[in-house]
Amino acid sequence: MTRLVILGKQGAGKGTQCALLAKHYHIPHISTGDMLRTAVAEGTHLGLQAKAIMEAGELVSDEIILGIVHERLTQADAQLGFLLDGFPRTDAQAQGLMAMLAPNKIDVALDIDVPDDVVTKRMLARGRDDDTPEAMQRRLELYQTETAPLLELFSKGGFLVSVDGLGTELEVHGRVIDAIERNRSL
């Protein structure tokens, strides 16, 4: 069983590494954004709650996100492991995840570390409409305020592995696999 959480700034290469890791470990890549859209589309109880909140322009609460993640992790394809992307984003979500998995735990919380100037260049190269300088700066600020506490929490739990995200996709992937396997054998 392989239970992974992937962390990193926007533009760090999480999406690329998630696709490679899901294939390598034969586990589902579970994105909270995708889960919210699916729950809304399927009209689940939590999806309907999330839809109303999102339509009002508000952030979906930790309680709703935890409920949607719990629903997703009970599905058959996640029973042999999973890769969580975009979750947890807050301390409450991280604590909820640990409670949800108890007595089991995650195997690794993987942080793909890339300097701010590099992720900024990567985001600019993507050419997305929402990648304005102001939006990119705000995302980096949010990463520091929201994710930094999670890095500390996962580090204290012995789950955190930080990997240098510079290099080719395959170079980074090799470092990621090595780091995961080293941490799992501890």
Query: pLDDT tens digit string along 36-62?
Result: 888 889 998 888 888 888 777 677 889
Domain count, the chain: 1
Predicted confidence (pLDDT) at residue 125 exceeds the cutoff of 80:
yes
Whether 44 maps to a domain, the answer reads no
Residues 101-105, mean pLDDT to the nearest whole number: 93
Q: What mean pLDDT is reported for the chain?
A: 90
Predicted local distance difference test score (pLDDT) of residue 167: 95
In a domain, 47, yes or no: no
Q: DSSP H helical segments within 4-158, as ranges?
A: 14-25, 32-42, 45-55, 62-73, 91-101, 116-126, 133-142, 148-156
* 58 falls within a domain: no
Residue 56 counted as domain residue: no
User: Considering the domain boundaries, does residue 106 fall inside one?
Assistant: yes
Is residue 153 one of the residues assigned to a domain?
Answer: yes
What is the domain range of residue 153?
A: 2-30+81-184
> Residue-wise over 112-144: b if at least 16 C-beta within 10 A, else e?
bebeeeebbebbeeeeeeebeeeebeebbeebe
If you average pLDDT over residues 152-174, what whole number do you get? 95
CATH of the domain at 103: 3.40.50.300
Q: Evaluate whether residue 91 is within a structural domain.
A: yes
pLDDT digits (tens, 9 = 90+) for 49-95: 888 887 776 778 898 889 889 989 999 999 999 999 989 988 899 99
Distance of CA 94 to the CA centre of its chain: 11
Asked if the structure places residue 67 within a domain, the reply is no
Asked if residue 186 has pLDDT above 80, the reply is no
Tokens of residue 103, six digits: 């007595």
